[in-house]
């Protein structure tokens, strides 16, 4: 039986058959028909399945928003917290158990507006986690106010004379912060999104994928066609390891570059710097502590 959540218009829904990260029973997905989030979910399900990750070792983390509902639609562990606050728990989960694959998901408002401060400090720490930002250039869940990525001139029920602030460019921001894997994709291109998601998840260190996602209900300007018309693939021979050139590429807008724009292995992940993993790689829950060890550590506070 075809699951109720399979989008019959998608040519790739067949790859989801027997995907362990999908649910056996139909689930209710509270996204509008035609929302770009459905395609991103398909890509994520396929990426997780093809990476052959164990379901028990995958944790999805999010805040609030349409994109932030994603963890509830994937059959793995999840933590859903406050708006903009997905990255701190994601960092903590990975720090407590480095054996887990930790994926944070959020909208452009969630991750760049309310959570912008956390994004900056997460980039400084470089935890081995992945972040997918659904960039629909709008606040979808709260019905169409401007997001930090909204293009100038966009009229909304709040920005009645049009947005006049400079839009935030998550790819350029990430490269300026030396985030170790930075990519952008068109979410409706499910195959390509899946491939880039696989690379981002496999990368050691903080990885960010900016995913263009049309919001068909509240952003009638930045439609699927608009994203197609305003993007281009990186030229062949492009070298993503050159940070200065990557930044120069990242600041190109309308059209925006698509692909892996920056990738480096020069930074040690956050967990690798923690003293608790210096003598043992075992996650904290597997460690036994004797009373005298605990007393020894507590004596530091005498």
Interface contacts to ligand TPP, rule CB under 6 A:
64-67, 83, 106-110, 114, 134, 136, 138-142, 147
CB 84 to ligand TPP: min, Å: 6
Number of helical (H) and strand (E) elements in the chain, helices listed first: 9, 8
Determine the residue with CB nearest ligand TPP.
107
DSSP tag of 295: H
Strand partners, 79: 61
Question: Quick one: how far is CA 291 from the chain centroid?
Answer: 41
Angstrom distance (rounded) from CA 269 to CA 125: 7
Q: Cα 220–224–226 angle (5° rounding)? A: 75
Among 216, 234, 276, 282, binds ligand SF4 (CB under 6 A): 216
Contact 59, 53 (CB under 8 A): no
Q: Does 234 bind ligand SF4 (CB under 6 A)?
A: no
Output 224 or 247, the one with its CB closest to ligand TPP.
224
Among 136, 180, 188, 193, binds Mg ion (CB under 5 A): 136
Q: Which helix (H) or strand (E) holds 182?
A: strand 181-186
HSE of 127 in the Cβ direction (CA atoms, 13 Å)?
A: 26
Q: What is the 3-state secondary structure (H, E, C) of 73-141?
A: HCCCEEEECCCCCCHHHHHHHHHHCCCCEEEEEEEHHHHHHHCHHHHHHHHHHCCCCEEEEEECCCECC
Output 93 or 141, the one with its CB closest to ligand TPP.
141
Backbone angles phi, psi at 207, to 5 degrees: -125, 140
Among 22, 37, 49, 108, binds Mg ion (CB under 5 A): 108
CB 135 to ligand SF4: min, Å: 11
Among 5, 15, 22, 37, binds ligand SF4 (CB under 6 A): 37
Backbone angles phi, psi at 110, to 5 degrees: -55, -50
Q: Does 218 bind ligand SF4 (CB under 6 A)?
A: yes
Among 71, 89, 127, 140, binds ligand SF4 (CB under 6 A): 140
CB 132 to ligand SF4: min, Å: 14
Q: Does 109 bind ligand SF4 (CB under 6 A)?
A: no
Among 5, 15, 31, 197, binds ligand SF4 (CB under 6 A): 31
Q: Does 32 bind ligand SF4 (CB under 6 A)?
A: yes
Output 226 or 238, the one with its CB closest to ligand SF4.
226
Backbone angles phi, psi at 108, to 5 degrees: -70, -30
The tokens for 126 are 């470089």
CB 70 to ligand SF4: min, Å: 11
CB 210 to ligand TPP: min, Å: 12
Q: Does 35 bind ligand SF4 (CB under 6 A)?
A: yes
Q: Name the site residues for ligand SF4 (rule: CB under 6 A).
A: 31-32, 35, 37, 66, 136, 140, 215-218
């Amino acid at each position: 039986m075809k699951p109720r959540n399979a989008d019959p218009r998608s040519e790739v829904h067949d790859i989801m058959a027997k995907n362990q990260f999908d649910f056996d029973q139909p689930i209710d997905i509270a996204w509008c028909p035609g929302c770009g989030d459905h395609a991103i979910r398909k890509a994520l399900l396929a990426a997780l399945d093809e990476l052959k990750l164990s379901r028990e070792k995958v944790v999805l983390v999010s805040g609030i928003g349409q994109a932030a509902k994603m963890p509830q639609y994937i059959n793995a562990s999840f933590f859903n917290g406050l708006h903009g606050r997905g990255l701190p728990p994601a960092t903590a989960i990975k720090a407590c158990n480095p054996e887990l694959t930790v994926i944070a998901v959020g909208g452009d408002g969630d991750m760049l507006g309310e959570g912008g401060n956390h994004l900056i400090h997460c980039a400084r720490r470089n935890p081995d986690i992945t972040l997918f930002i659904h960039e629909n250039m709008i606040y979808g869940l709260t019905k169409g106010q401007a997001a930090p990525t909204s293009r100038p001139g966009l009229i909304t029920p709040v920005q009645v004379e049009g947005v006049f602030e400079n839009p935030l460019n998550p790819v350029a921001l990430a490269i300026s912060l030396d985030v170790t894997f930075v990519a952008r994709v068109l979410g409706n291109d499910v195959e390509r999104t899946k491939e880039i998601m696989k690379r981002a998840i496999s990368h050691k260190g903080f990885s960010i994928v900016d995913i263009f996602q049309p919001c068909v209900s509240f952003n009638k300007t930045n439609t699927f066609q608009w994203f197609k018309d305003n993007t281009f693939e990186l030229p062949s021979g492009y070298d993503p390891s050159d940070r200065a050139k990557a930044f120069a590429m990242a600041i190109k807008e309308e059209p925006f570059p698509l692909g892996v724009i920056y990738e480096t292995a020069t930074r040690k992940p956050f967990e690798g710097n923690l003293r608790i993993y210096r003598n043992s790689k075992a996650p904290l829950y597997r460690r036994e502590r004797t009373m005298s060890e605990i007393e020894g550590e507590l004596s530091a506070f005498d």
